[in-house]
Amino acid sequence: MKRIQRQTKGRRVGDLLELVLGTVLLLLILYIGTFIRARWDLTSEKRYTLTPATKELVTGLEDEVFVKVFLSGELPADLERLSRAMRDLLDEMRVHQPDRINYAFVDPNASPDQKTRDEVYDDLQKQGLTYSSIRLREKGAYTERIVFPGALITYRERVVPVQLLKTQLRAPDADMVNRSINNLEYEMASAIRKVTAARKSRVAFLEGHGELDPLRVMDVTKALEEHYSVGRVRIDGRIDALSSKPPGMNKRVNEFEALIIAKPDSVFSDRDRYVLDQYVMNGGKVLWLVDAMNANLDSLRKNQFSIAVPLEQGVHELLFSYGVRINNDLVLDRSCGPIEIYTQPYGNQRKLERFPWYFEPVSMPQVKHPIVSNIDPVHFRFASSLDTIGTDGVKKTILLTTSPYSYAQRNPVRISLNMVESNMGFEQRSTPFLPLAVLLEGEFSSAYSDRLPVAFRGSEDVAFRERSPRTAQIVIGDGDVILNRVDDAKGMYYTLGFDRYSNAKIYGNRELIINAMNYLLDDKSLISIRSREITLRQLDPQRIERERTGIQVFNVVLPLVLSIAGGLLFHIVRRRRYRSAA
């Protein structure tokens, strides 16, 4: 008996010793773990891992960046998911720069006093944030809530607002929130870059050849001004319009990092073309938005039909030497925007009906390139197709194309409103995936290599160059891609991508132009993030409502049952072990 008591006592001492040693070992491991930073992102799309460019941006901060996020309190389920994603992103940034990134989540509806809440709302709007009035259905009842899905980023004395929700036009759904989460790192990196930038790159809109006036590109101008210094420039035959010749240097230096040529409608003089060519040869980046045909919807509405012929501008030979040709044609696409036309009268009233307008292709991005990744379809108007030309040292990437059901009509093109009721024969005569936008990258050869007098080429002030350093250009066969809708009577403009028929922004033209300039100007901290995509694994709301009780029981009762069963099993095994030892 005494022997059994001694054995039992020995086992208890041994168990107690194991417990103490295990506890000490666990505390030791936890203590050592505080000095070791190790993180594993097990998601397939690496959603919790920053891109290398963002890591470089964050680790290079010279002072504290404070982020105040207004996604807190009672939120709809989708916005709560956006809030968690924002917190995860900020935590990941803090891992790489804990002393420079700090944040706070604030509930703008925290005060019970309506007057105080209204003052908070007014202050947030003055600082640039937009609110959403969301009508939600919860358990059969509807409620109205004011939310500010945004943040304010402070760096030293500067404050920048960031709108985290992709759109404010309707109540957020799973797809909208997923798009916002996809762009969350981009929005934050863009805002941090903006608030900390010491110098902005210079971008200029070219004018003097009938290009779009400032009001018709105002939306893109305002968006670009958030990151760049934007102006306008005329060449007027001046050799120093786009570049200067510093004393002691054997080459010219460009005055602007990038140039936008938006829908010119008149001929470039030979001297202007030379200045443009040398701008590229000196490493300049150009976004070409050029119409090849003179199609015009206003004249079409007056006469019911028109004939489109080539629009002479003189820049086609430049583009040809760089590696792309804009064809003298107009593209028709079954994937297109609408047009409203008055049809046969109904009684004594004219009837306005909506039809597909095949001359306005809507292009869905087909390639995984940062410029077009994660953007909405792009709307074109009287676009021309492009061909790439074999050019040494230049890489061509087709960014946007037509749909599989499309074809091009060659010059001259008869355009008639009656086409909306005709069988266009897309199934029988289609030429699928006609290029509409092309990226050119590499070292370009001058279009004037064998065309200049020897004396002019040898002039020290001219500083002619036959070949460029590595640079990039983007060519789009439609000038209207950058054109925002304008109300001339009121002197106001609409967001680029705004559709007047749906009274909402539904096209990705704005994002296309911004991404194009980010890419041309080599803003890696902005453009590299565009290529990542987070997969949405959303729940079925109808099934959740239908099986609510079963799901609740499964999530609450089953863990308790498993815990009790595990405890009983452990107890039984322990008793059997003690009996066998005895």
* Residues 414/305, Cβ–Cβ less than 8 Å: yes
Give yes or no: residues 332 and 461 share one domain. yes
Give yes or no: residues 415 and 438 share one domain. yes
Which of residues 208 and 139 earns the better pLDDT score? Answer: 208
Beta bridge partners of 287: 260, 474
Residue 529 counted as domain residue:
no
Give yes or no: residues 451 and 566 share one domain. no
* Residues 180/164, Cβ–Cβ less than 8 Å: yes
Burial 375-397 (b: 16+ CB within 10 A, else e): bbbbbbbbbbbbebeebeebebb
Residues sharing a CB contact under 8 Å with residue 412, sequence separation 6 or more, in sequence order: 307, 308, 309
Residue 566 counted as domain residue:
yes
Residue 528 counted as domain residue:
no
Give yes or no: residues 257 and 287 share one domain. yes
Give yes or no: residues 143 and 252 share one domain. no
What is the rounded CA–CA span in Å between residue 470 and residue 458?
Answer: 23
Give yes or no: residues 160 and 248 share one domain. no
Q: Which two tokens stand for residue 402?
A: 């037509």
Give yes or no: residues 376 and 258 share one domain. yes
**Tokens 């054995």 sit on residue:** 7
Give yes or no: residues 295 and 272 share one domain. yes
Q: Which two tokens stand for residue 481?
A: 């891609």
In DSSP notation, 384-402 reads --EEE---TTEEEEEEEE-
pLDDT (tens digit, 9 = 90+) per residue, 229-261? 999 999 999 999 999 988 878 889 999 999 999
Residue 47 counted as domain residue:
no
Give yes or no: residues 467 and 322 share one domain. yes
Q: What is the pTM of this model?
A: 0.73
Closest CA to 280 of 297, 304, 300, 256: 256
Per DSSP, 377 falls in state: P
What is the rounded CA–CA span in Å between residue 229 and residue 521?
Answer: 12
Residue 239 counted as domain residue:
yes
**Which of residues 488, 520, 552 is at a domain's end?**
520
What is the rounded CA–CA span in Å between residue 391 and residue 395?
Answer: 8
pLDDT (tens digit, 9 = 90+) per residue, 111-130? 888 889 889 999 998 888 88
Give yes or no: residues 258 and 369 share one domain. yes
Give yes or no: residues 60 and 98 share one domain. yes
pLDDT value, residue 460: 73
pLDDT (tens digit, 9 = 90+) per residue, 398-444? 999 999 999 999 999 998 888 888 888 888 889 999 999 999 999 99
Residues sharing a CB contact under 8 Å with residue 43, sequence separation 6 or more, in sequence order: none
For the chain, the straight-line distance linking the first and the last C-alpha, in angstroms and rounded, comes to 11
Residue 231 counted as domain residue:
yes
**Tokens 């350093």 sit on residue:** 469
pLDDT (tens digit, 9 = 90+) per residue, 348-360? 666 778 889 999 9
Residue 41 counted as domain residue:
no
What is the rounded CA–CA span in Å between residue 150 and residue 71?
Answer: 7
- Where residue 275 falls (left for φ over 0; alpha for ψ -120 to 50; beta otherwise) is alpha
pLDDT value, residue 407: 94
- Structural domain count of the chain: 4
pLDDT value, residue 257: 95
Q: How confident is the model at residue 170 (pLDDT cuts 50, 70, 90)?
A: very low
Range(s) of the domain holding residue 13: 1-36
Which of residues 134 and 75 earns the better pLDDT score? Answer: 75
